[in-house]
Amino acid sequence: MTQPAEPGPLRRLHPLSPLLRGWKFIIAALLVIVPQNADRLRRSADEPLSLALAVLAVVAVGVIYGLLSWRFTHYGVAGGDLRVDSGVLFRRSRHVRLDRLQAVEVVQPLLGRALGLAELRLEVVGGAKTEAPLAYLSLDDARRLRAELLARAAGIAEDTPEAPERVLHEVPAERLLWSSLLSTPVLVGVLLVPVALAVAALTAGIGAALVLVPALVSVGTPLIQQLVANYGFTLAESPDGLRVRRGLLETRSQTVPPGRIQAARLAEPWLWRRFTDWVAVQVDIAGYAGESATASAVLLPVGPRPLALDLLRRVLPDADVSGVPLTGVPPRARWLAPLSRRVLAAGADRRHFVARRGVLRRETDVVPHERAQSVRLSQGPLQRWLRLATVTVDTTPGPVTVRAEHRDAVEAAAMVRAEAILARAARAAAPPQRWMRRV
């Protein structure tokens, strides 16, 4: 068995890493200690001193933990591997094969931005979670190491600098705000406010809180989530793929190689279609697993329809949603989908399978035949009684679920057979790929 190549000089993380890694331990401990001693503080005047000593002990443990973790963590690159050594009591050495590298992200938490530090997160084929996260490096070192890892993964010179980029679109904060206000949860929250006022008039204000609380949550949650996650959203094009930068409290910088995108979704809430013609674009990216599969799936949080369609064609060549012939569902599907029956549709052309659904939130899913990992037919009890079936085209984990719902059972079976044949032929004709180019 071939031994992994020896790395060059192993490097340490940034000296300020203990500060960023230790404060989480300190905060968690304080959240446990302070509430448990609240009653004792009220009963005894001597307790504040004891509590202060306990807090100092926790801070000391946190600082020592951070220092030891930093002291015993090293990393280096050798040949086709990234090696990361870590562990205080139990030593651990991880070798990440760069030929299995799918994505490298530079992430800056709020305190890290203040100190000029960043975390490097790696996604590899078959990983259940982010591999060998390096927390923390200086921002310049993180960018240089990211460029080196991507160059090695692409099979080019390791000292190749980061490719230049051209900004395609920047999402203004005003549009993010309005897109949240025009979302379905906010609409539901606004409709609940008159109900709360009516309840208040009938119950002298006692029962109004029971309705106002979910109304405020429905209004506030989308606003906070959209602004925190996608503030400053910038989409740029480079030779190695599409680059995305976003985030208010935690900034994320990722590169999305077109060859790694397995499926895409165009999402259009009802109020967007009614007043703005905005569209959001989500994708499934190979190599992302767990929470990162959802966190890194947004390719455009909100934007004009022409931009979204152009973006779709960039990541899925020849993808023309309007050009794919879609067929609807039979009239008997109204018993299972009374509101969305007229929207449900699916179809395929020589390159892609497309499915559409949703009334309040219209979703159009697109998957290239060569990216289909499996295709299946499913029937619930009511579907069997109505002679209906649902066809699902499976891809990598992510937010996009390509599903043609409530099709005629005979048509659905034919659709499964046809998609299996198209997928087999497309995979046979597709050339192999490296990190950012076809071979």
Residue 53, pLDDT score: 73
Task: Identify whether the C-beta of residue 209 lies closer than 8 Å to the C-beta of residue 199.
Answer: no
Q: Which residues contact 168 (CB under 8 A, 6 or more apart)?
A: 235, 236, 237, 242, 307, 311
Neighbours of 125 (CB within 10 A): 12
User: Over 60: is that where the pLDDT of 400 sits?
Assistant: yes
What's the 3-state SS for 217-228? HHHHHHHHHHHH
Residues across the chain:
439
Mean of the per-residue pLDDT values of the chain: 82
Q: In the numeric block, which tokens belong to residue 108?
A: 């800056």
Cβ distance 262 to 285 under 8 Å? yes
CA distance 121 to 296: 12
Ranges 98-112, 208-222, 392-406, most confident: 392-406
Confidence of residue 418 (pLDDT cuts 50, 70, 90): very high
pLDDT confidence of residue 2: 45
Helix ranges (DSSP H) in 204-326: 208-230, 270-275, 291-295, 305-315
Q: Give 351-383 pLDDT, tens digit per residue.
A: 999 999 999 899 999 999 999 999 999 999 999
Q: Is the pLDDT of residue 184 over 60?
A: yes
pLDDT at 1: 43
| 11-154: CATH class | mainly beta
Rg (CA), the chain: 26
Ranges 181-190, 287-296, 423-432: which has the least confidence: 287-296
Q: Which residue has the higher pLDDT, 238 or 157?
A: 238
Nearest one of 270, 16, 307, 129 to 299, comparing CA atoms: 307
Straight-line distance from the first to the last Cα atom of the chain, in angstroms, rounded to the nearest whole number? 28
The count of C-alpha atoms lying within 13 angstroms of the C-alpha of 261, restricted to the half-sphere facing its C-beta, is 29
pLDDT of residue 438: 45
Mean pLDDT of 138-149: 90
Give the Cβ contact number of residue 293 at 10 Å: 18
Task: Give me the mean pLDDT over the 124-147 stretch.
Answer: 79
The model's confidence at residue 29, banded by pLDDT at 50, 70 and 90, is low
- What pTM value is reported for the model? 0.82
